[in-house]
Amino acid sequence: MTTRRSFLGGAAVTAAAAALQSALPASAQSPAGQSFGAPDYNLEIAELDWELAAHKKIRTWAYNGQIPGPLLRVTEGKPVSIEIANRTDHPEIVHWHGQWIPVAADGAAEEGSPMIPAGASTRITFTPRPAGLHWYHTHAPADRNLSRGLYTGQFGVLQVAPRSGPGLDPGHYDQEQFIVLHDWDPYYASSDDGSLMVNYASGSINGRLLGHGEPIPVRPGQRVLFQVLNASATEPHWLSLPGHHFQVLALDGAPVATQATVPMLRLGPAERVTAIVTMDHPGVWVLGEVQRTFRDAGIGIVVEYAGATGEPQSTKLEHLTWDYRVFGSPTPAIHKPDLTIPLVFTSRFKGHGALDQWMINGKSYPRTQMPNLHAGLRHRLVFINHSTDNHPVHLHRHNFELVSISGVPLSGVHKDVVVVDAGTTVEADLIADNPGNTLFHCHQQDHMDMGFMGVFRYA
Amino acid sequence: MKSFLLAIVAFAAVIAAIPAARGQNNYEIQVYGSETVAPKTTMVELHSNFTVDGQKNVVDGMEPDNHVEHETVEITQGINDWSEVGFYIFTSEKSGQGVQWVGDHIRPRVRVPPSWHWPVGVSLSTEAGYQRAKFAPDTWDWEIRPIIDKTSGRWYWAVNPALERAWHGPDVKLGIDFSPAVKISYDFTKQITGGIEYYADYGSITDIASLHDQQQQIFPAIDLNVSPNWEINFGVGVGPTAATDHWIVKGIIGRRFSWGKLN
């Protein structure tokens, strides 16, 4: 039944959508004014009861009634239109993580992208770039509500195929597997350092607890291309496959200078890894969290060689290892920056029963004061982490090249999220080539909700 | 700060209004929180309590505790994310008598997992054991201790309405004894938490003791959160009733040992 109120709401939304369309820059609009034709994709945000395992259901919000949301395959440089229907009872917004697109389409209210009112629909159109493994997810704040924001099932993979020219060449591979990690059943608990943090009772790969999803069937000698995304709201994860190694081809969708082979992957929240694994160790294995606590909570998926039988075997590793530097150029080439922007991360204790307040250069969002960016110039962002937490910091609508970690020079690793470990400094070069408000934030939902955000503006 | 002082005054007023009771043996003076020790983790604590002004005479065959140091070693093993088992070694040290073994207790505990999203932390501890008659009239006893707590911002409170039962000794006939403990504290900084702890023994639940025979202790106490692996608590207690030791200094130092977290 349409009430006057819902009619007015719908009318307002239509007006807002029209306003948005008119506000979109050319590269954010669909070609030939096809805004109200059939979109390339539809996304419906709605509540659902999702079965993580046979006897484990959760109620959450998700895209198109599935977790993860539908895999969206688009082509670099070819405009795509997406109709988003918000069937929730609260405003929502979808962020196209890793895409160099205009503010209106980016999906971050802090930059100025419009929220989608409850019950309304909107259409966004953008021209995907760059190619690689990217994703889309809600960018609505959770505040302290653990059933909102990235604590929900609102995430999915956006795979951008290169249109032409040099892109990621994974070489020959026999199958491609998308691996999406997420943590569920969040609750507040004391952290080791005495501050409140978010813990989880369960976790999943591709929406299923370990042992409750379909195994990945492989044959000896196969090369499997794994496209891995950590869609957790707050947790970094380490992944391993017993007896196998990962040849890392790309980080956050960008090809790396050195395709190093590593025994495990680490992905901070929002990070992506593209890696090849040669199946040369027959058996039944768990591709899963190295840390048993998380594996027991469900973060794993069975990899089953043809003809192999028995219980899936997990990794027994003594140490967690990961170093971005192994993927850098063997001879780092560091350019002189035009501008240097120090960003100091600190926190303020608010009690053992409260989340810490987070600050960039001494101020919390929305009071953060970020220096202006200058189009065409090389900006050296200096991430100085004075806190006792690691921070997966993310820059919207751009990426950056890592140029040093703890003073050790590096080049050839381009990312849009980098984990800055506690007490360390990471330097990254940003070429400002996508004018418009640009959000910078820690991708831990609880940190960004508690002030760890700032908006760069172009001069 | 003002709200903290007001809360302390209010807390003291509540305490003053309670018809007081009999008390504990001052081997472990601690208000329990609802959290349990994590799996693959062992917590080793040393409870050091010195009675500055206490009982000076032998009562019912019990050694006086004036100027006596009680050292208790508590070892707690985390079983899973909702249970633990603790083990106690009680000792008593007095000038001229050296270190004397007093007894041992075992204490299993379960809690409501935080993933149940209860608005307060809840756990249930039960403790049983032996102590030599020279140090306690009841040589075997048992306790069940519900634990309810809540942290909100800088504030924390915990309530332990414990029930005790003597299995062997003169108090068997008294039935179940009510021994509540309460704590309220405030985080002044991340490292320093100050608060008030209250311990009491009201006597049998079917025959509450007179104020004179009740035991009540109030401890201004400080918790130092210097490291995730260490637990440090210090307090000075006053016992206002005749049956209570009048002045006690207590300290707890604990170290958490973890292993095998990965696998």
A127 and A84 Cβ atoms separated by less than 8 Å: no
Instruction: Kindly report which listed range (A89-93, A95-99, B114-118, B129-133) carries the lowest average pLDDT score.
Output: B114-118
* pLDDT value for B155: 96
CB contacts under 8 A, A 300-319 vs B, are: 315-319
Cα(B80)–Cα(B101) distance, rounded to whole angstroms? 31
Residues with Cβ within 8 Å of residue B181, at least 6 apart in sequence: B31, B32, B159, B160, B162, B197, B198, B199, B200
Averages of pLDDT over runs of 10 residues in chain A (459 residues) are 33 36 37 63 98 95 98 97 98 98 98 97 97 97 95 98 73 93 93 84 97 97 98 98 97 97 98 98 97 95 96 87 96 94 97 95 97 98 97 98 97 98 98 98 97 97
Distance to chain B for A258, nearest Cα, Å: 28
Sign for the CA dihedral angle at A179, A184, A186, A191 comes to: negative
Nearest one of A110, A115, A105 to A27, comparing CA atoms: A105
A199 and B114: CB-CB below 8 Å? yes
- Paired with A157 in beta bridges are A135
Label each residue of B148-177 as H, E or C: EEEEEECEEEEEEEEEEEEEECHHHHHCEE
Find the residue in B nearest to A185 (Cα): B115
Cα(A277)–Cα(A287) distance, rounded to whole angstroms? 11
B261 and A292: CB-CB below 8 Å? yes
With cut-offs at 50, 70 and 90, classify the pLDDT of residue B22.
very low
Cα(A18)–Cα(A97) distance, rounded to whole angstroms? 24
Helices (H), chain B: 2-17
B163-187 per-position pLDDT tens digit: 999 999 988 988 999 999 999 999 9
Interface membership of A335 toward B (CB under 8 Å) = no
Residues of chain B with pLDDT > 70: what percent?
A: 89
Distance to chain A for B224, nearest Cα, Å: 11
* pLDDT value for A304: 98
With cut-offs at 50, 70 and 90, classify the pLDDT of residue B24.
very low
Structure tokens at B39: 């799996």
Residue from the list A185, A190, A354 with its beta carbon closest to the beta carbon of B153: A354
Give the mean model confidence (pLDDT) for residues B81-105. 93
A269 and A232 Cβ atoms separated by less than 8 Å: yes
B239 and B217 Cβ atoms separated by less than 8 Å: yes
Torsion of CA A114, A181, B116, A292, to 10 degrees: -150
Residue from the list A191, A315, A351 with its beta carbon closest to the beta carbon of B153: A351
Distance to chain A for B190, nearest Cα, Å: 6
B26 and B248 Cβ atoms separated by less than 8 Å: yes
Give the mean model confidence (pLDDT) for residues B251-261. 88
B237-254 per-position pLDDT tens digit: 999 888 888 899 999 999
B154 and A352: CB-CB below 8 Å? yes
B233 and B252 Cβ atoms separated by less than 8 Å: yes
Distance to chain B for A314, nearest Cα, Å: 9
Nearest one of B118, B131, B41 to B84, comparing CA atoms: B41
Interface test with B, best of A314, A352, A389 (most B CBs within 10 A): A352
Interface test with A, best of B4, B115, B117, B156 (most A CBs within 10 A): B115
* pLDDT value for B70: 94
* pLDDT value for B6: 52
* pLDDT value for A186: 95
A47 and A88 Cβ atoms separated by less than 8 Å: yes
| Residue bearing tokens 């998308």 | A178
Distance to chain B for A137, nearest Cα, Å: 25
Residue from the list A189, A192, A353 with its beta carbon closest to the beta carbon of B152: A353
Cα A397 to Cα A103, A408, B65: the distances in Å are 8, 27, 71
Residues with Cβ within 8 Å of residue A300, at least 6 apart in sequence: A205, A210, A211, A286, A287, A288, A289, A312, A314
B215-240 per-position pLDDT tens digit: 899 999 999 998 888 999 999 999 98
* pLDDT value for A165: 62
Find the residue in A nearest to B225 (Cα): A194
Cα B6 to Cα B2, B10, B39, B192: the distances in Å are 6, 6, 39, 19
B115 and A318: CB-CB below 8 Å? no
Residues of chain B with pLDDT > 90: what percent?
A: 64
Cα(A417)–Cα(A300) distance, rounded to whole angstroms? 23
Angle at B68 between CA B66 and CA B73, to 5 degrees: 145
* pLDDT value for B3: 52
B189 and A349: CB-CB below 8 Å? yes
* pLDDT value for A34: 42
Other beta carbons within 10 angstroms of residue A176's beta carbon come to: 12
* pLDDT value for B13: 43
φ and ψ at residue A9, rounded to 5 degrees:
-60, -45
Cα(B141)–Cα(B133) distance, rounded to whole angstroms? 12
Residues with Cβ within 8 Å of residue A55, at least 6 apart in sequence: none
